[in-house]
């Protein structure tokens, strides 16, 4: 039986180059005050031995952990996974965050935290103590939870608050929800729709309010009435059913509906079909999120694409560079786009007369 090949460690590099472990660590971490000749000598040994730096080796410098921690709510995430209904928030976070972290010599770790008020400090505190991350990404609605942001600030850990524009510690980041809701509304207005209903998300998410504001502003700019065209859901399918039914029960129902999540948009599509309405001939539907499932709906849904991967990637970059540049003064906006598919069309003739 062949012998298992011994992996190359930082000790092998140090011995081959004839330098200390600390010197090799400083070269790996691209730290200043290392003579060019010494850098070349250590790098030659790294190349010769095929050494791949480990986080343990990088940590020897003592100033950084080379870990970025992304946290999400345990209950919500597990419920989404078990439902298997097409939500891909975590996948997109990992896609953007992990790849960008790896490009910079870091690793991103994703942790599920019980963010209920009586558990969050204990659980988040334990994760911070165990991992000692160089930065933390907090997702909505927890990005505006003062227990979470306060704990991170008290520990002096840089953090990015996705879905938050509030003043305070950390890096505020948004995905341009208000602008994108306006784009979706403008798209329908250009198609001749004058009665455009909106299904908002829950109040605990600031972004739900921003989306409603974007719809209202676009309707106002076109001198169209918003009265009696707003319903609220909780981003889930069942709430979307109730909201769509309420909108279509109006004496003068909308000819188009924008839903603040894919699940609520799919619910609106089901309600339309149950009532014998053709989408998009009788009713146009626009969704937020653009998760994979909306492409396979019948018809495929026009959707606002949330740039989750790009936002996570930008958050990682900002956290890695935090010690050099600090937090941006204004909220960082990573704007998505409107993907037009088959669920939107010219408004019915009756609505334009």
What tens digit of pLDDT does each residue of 216-256 get?
999 999 999 998 999 999 999 999 999 999 999 999 999 99
Return the pLDDT at 130.
Answer: 86
Residue 352 has pLDDT above 50, yes or no: no
Residue 4 has pLDDT above 60, yes or no: no
Cβ distance 139 to 162 under 8 Å?
Answer: yes
Overall average pLDDT of the 174-203 stretch? 97
What share of the chain in percent tops pLDDT 90? 65
Return the pLDDT at 62.
Answer: 55
Residue 160 has pLDDT above 90, yes or no: yes
Overall average pLDDT of the 143-153 stretch? 92
Least confident of 109-123, 220-234, 240-254, 307-321: 109-123
One-character DSSP codes across 51-83: ----HHHHGGGSS---EEEEEEEHHHHHHHHHH
The CB-based long-range contact list for 44-53 (8 Å cut-off, 24+ gap) reads: 44/17, 45/13, 45/16, 45/17, 46/13, 48/16, 49/8, 49/12, 49/13, 49/16, 50/8, 51/8, 51/9, 51/10, 51/12, 51/13, 52/8, 53/10, 53/28, 53/105
Return the pLDDT at 2.
Answer: 44
Overall average pLDDT of the 310-326 stretch? 93
pTM metric for this prediction: 0.82
Residue 5 has pLDDT above 50, yes or no: no
Overall average pLDDT of the 150-178 stretch? 94
Number of H helices, E strands in the chain: 14, 12
Least confident of 9-13, 70-74, 96-100, 177-181: 9-13
Closest of 249, 219, 246, 215 to residue 232, by C-alpha: 246
Mean pLDDT across the chain: 90
Overall average pLDDT of the 120-131 stretch? 87
Overall average pLDDT of the 248-271 stretch? 97
Residue 312 has pLDDT above 50, yes or no: yes
Rounded distance between C-alpha atoms, residue 107 and residue 99, angstroms: 9
Return the pLDDT at 53.
Answer: 67
Return the pLDDT at 94.
Answer: 94
Overall average pLDDT of the 40-60 stretch? 76
What share of the chain in percent tops pLDDT 70? 93
The two three-digit tokens of residue 313, written as one number: 């990637």
The two three-digit tokens of residue 283, written as one number: 């009713």
Closest of 186, 194, 120 to residue 348, by C-alpha: 194
Higher pLDDT, 8 or 263: 263
Residue 56 has pLDDT above 60, yes or no: no
Residue 60 has pLDDT above 60, yes or no: no
Higher pLDDT, 131 or 98: 98
Scanning the chain, the segments in alpha helix (DSSP H) are: 10-17, 21-28, 36-49, 55-58, 74-83, 89-103, 120-131, 146-154, 177-190, 206-221, 237-248, 262-274, 308-320, 322-325
Residue 270 has pLDDT above 80, yes or no: yes
Overall average pLDDT of the 99-123 stretch? 87
Overall average pLDDT of the 104-130 stretch? 86
Overall average pLDDT of the 121-144 stretch? 90
């Amino acid at each position: 039986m062949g012998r298992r090949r011994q992996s190359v460690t930082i000790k092998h590099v140090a011995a081959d180059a004839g330098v200390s472990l600390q010197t090799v660590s400083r070269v790996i971490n691209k730290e200043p005050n290392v003579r060019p000749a010494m850098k070349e000598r250590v790098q030659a040994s790294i190349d010769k031995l095929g050494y791949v730096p480990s986080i343990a080796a990088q940590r020897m410098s003592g100033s950084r952990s080379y870990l970025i921690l992304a946290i999400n709510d345990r209950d919500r995430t597990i419920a989404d996974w078990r439902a298997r209904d097409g939500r891909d928030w975590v996948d997109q976070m990992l896609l953007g965050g992990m790849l960008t972290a790896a490009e910079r010599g870091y690793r991103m770790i994703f942790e599920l935290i019980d963010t209920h008020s009586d558990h969050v400090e204990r659980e988040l505190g334990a994760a911070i103590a165990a991992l000692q991350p160089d930065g933390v990404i907090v997702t909505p609605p927890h990005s505006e939870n003062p227990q979470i942001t306060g704990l991170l600030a008290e520990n002096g850990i840089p953090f990015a608050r996705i879905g938050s524009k509030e003043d305070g510690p950390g890096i505020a980041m948004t995905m341009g929800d208000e602008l994108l809701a306006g784009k979706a509304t403008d798209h329908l207005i250009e198609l001749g729709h004058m009665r455009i209903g909106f299904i908002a998300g829950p109040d605990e998410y600031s972004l739900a309010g921003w989306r409603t504001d974007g719809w209202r502003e676009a309707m106002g700019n076109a001198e169209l009435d918003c009265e009696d065209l707003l319903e609220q859901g909780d981003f889930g399918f069942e709430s979307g059913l109730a909201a769509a039914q309420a909108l279509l029960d109006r004496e003068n129902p909308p000819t188009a509906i924008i839903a603040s999540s894919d699940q609520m948009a799919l619910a609106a599509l089901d309600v339309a079909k149950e009532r014998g309405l053709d989408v998009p001939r009788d009713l146009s539907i626009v969704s937020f999120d653009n998760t994979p499932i909306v492409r396979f709906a019948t018809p495929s849904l026009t959707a606002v694409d949330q740039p989750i991967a790009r936002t996570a990637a930008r958050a990682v970059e900002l956290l890695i560079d935090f010690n050099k540049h600090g937090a941006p003064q204004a909220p960082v906006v990573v704007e998505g786009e409107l993907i037009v598919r088959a669920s939107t069309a010219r408004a019915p003739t009756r609505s334009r007369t």
